[in-house]
Amino acid sequence: MGGRWSGPTLKRMAVRLGLHHPIGRLSREAARARVQAIYKEHPEFTVRQVKETVALEHPIDNKRTGDLLRECRIAAARQSPTYRRMRWYVDRRVAARLRIAAIWKRRPESTGREVLQKLGPEHRVDLPWVQRVLRDCWLAGARHSRAQRLKGRRLYAPYRACNPRTIRFLKARAAEGSRRVAMKRAEACRVHMEWALRQPGKYGRPISAEYAAAKLNERNVRPPLGARWYANTVRSMWKTLGLHHPPAGTWRPSKHAVAVRKR
């Protein structure tokens, strides 16, 4: 009857014919139960991942999925005393924060890299973000003085907790190690550096650092660090090797200059 099919007409016709077709839209209670089950199994899932998992059985839109997933995240955040105390945001990283808080509660001395390895690849977070969350957990764990808050968890610079004498000793050892490594790199290029400094410069002057770098690049001599030689690299290299090279801009009197007699 009529010239067009409508939804109610098609539904009544299917019932009369005995065709039992599943519903095309989930009720809110069924969708909430399905999203809660997925969140309990995979709390790191995003809205798109939850939607794709639910859509295998029944279609569901993005807004509805996002609202239900936010309800699950809010409920999980309210169950954590640390989350409530720190007043963290409720976003897609709620599960990661709860996981980090649980790891910190068992092992407060854990570093950021250790916690990042324990999180695994399912939580897509970086090291600075993990370190900030660990600092928040440390601040919420107990009361700290102003000096302790400024010092932090001592994850980045352990020498901060040492006395000044130990700090000076550690800095001197670090500087000595850096000089030793720089000398080792420079010794590998001593032959090339001595050859470059023996080359003639412009107007009979000693070769400059810029021209020495150009000569080394023409011979495809690879520097210890980087891909090309530059003037600053050449200067630092000959200073490290202890080679005394006169500056290229030193003025020298010409042989055609007229000598001026002193009166």
Is residue 33 domain-shared with residue 143, that is, in the same domain? yes
Range of the domain at 127: 28-151
> Nearest to residue 245, comparing CAs of 175, 177, 198?
198
Is residue 118 domain-shared with residue 189, that is, in the same domain? no
Is residue 51 domain-shared with residue 133, that is, in the same domain? yes
How are the residues of the chain apportioned to helix, strand and coil, as percentages rounded to the nearest 5? Answer: 60, 0, 40
Is residue 101 domain-shared with residue 187, that is, in the same domain? no
Domain presence at residue 234:
yes
Is residue 130 domain-shared with residue 231, that is, in the same domain? no
Is residue 47 domain-shared with residue 145, that is, in the same domain? yes
Is residue 38 domain-shared with residue 143, that is, in the same domain? yes
Domain presence at residue 168:
no
Rounded to the nearest angstrom, the gap between the alpha carbon of residue 183 and the centroid of all alpha carbons in its chain is 31
Is residue 139 domain-shared with residue 230, that is, in the same domain? no
Domain presence at residue 159:
no
Rg, C-alpha atoms of the chain: 36
Domain presence at residue 129:
yes
Is residue 82 domain-shared with residue 137, that is, in the same domain? yes
Is residue 184 domain-shared with residue 110, that is, in the same domain? no
Domain presence at residue 261:
no
Crossing angle of the two packed helices 94-106 and 112-119, in degrees rounded to 10: 120
Provide the pLDDT for residue 240. Answer: 85
Domain presence at residue 9:
no
Is residue 86 domain-shared with residue 133, that is, in the same domain? yes
Total domains, the chain = 2
Domain presence at residue 97:
yes
Provide the pLDDT for residue 81. Answer: 84
**DSSP secondary-structure letter at 223?**
P
Provide the pLDDT for residue 155. Answer: 46
Tokens of 22: 């599943």
Domain presence at residue 140:
yes
Provide the pLDDT for residue 30. Answer: 83
Which tens digit of pLDDT belongs to each residue from 15-58?
Answer: 888 877 666 667 788 888 888 888 888 888 888 888 888 766 67
Is residue 51 domain-shared with residue 116, that is, in the same domain? yes
Q: What is the mean pLDDT for each group of 10 consecutive residues in the chain (263 residues)? A: 76 81 71 87 86 74 86 90 84 89 86 87 87 82 67 52 73 87 86 86 82 88 83 85 72 50 51
Provide the pLDDT for residue 257. Answer: 45
Which tens digit of pLDDT belongs to each residue from 176-193?
Answer: 888 888 888 888 888 888
Residue pair 179/197 in contact (Cβ under 8 Å)? The answer is no
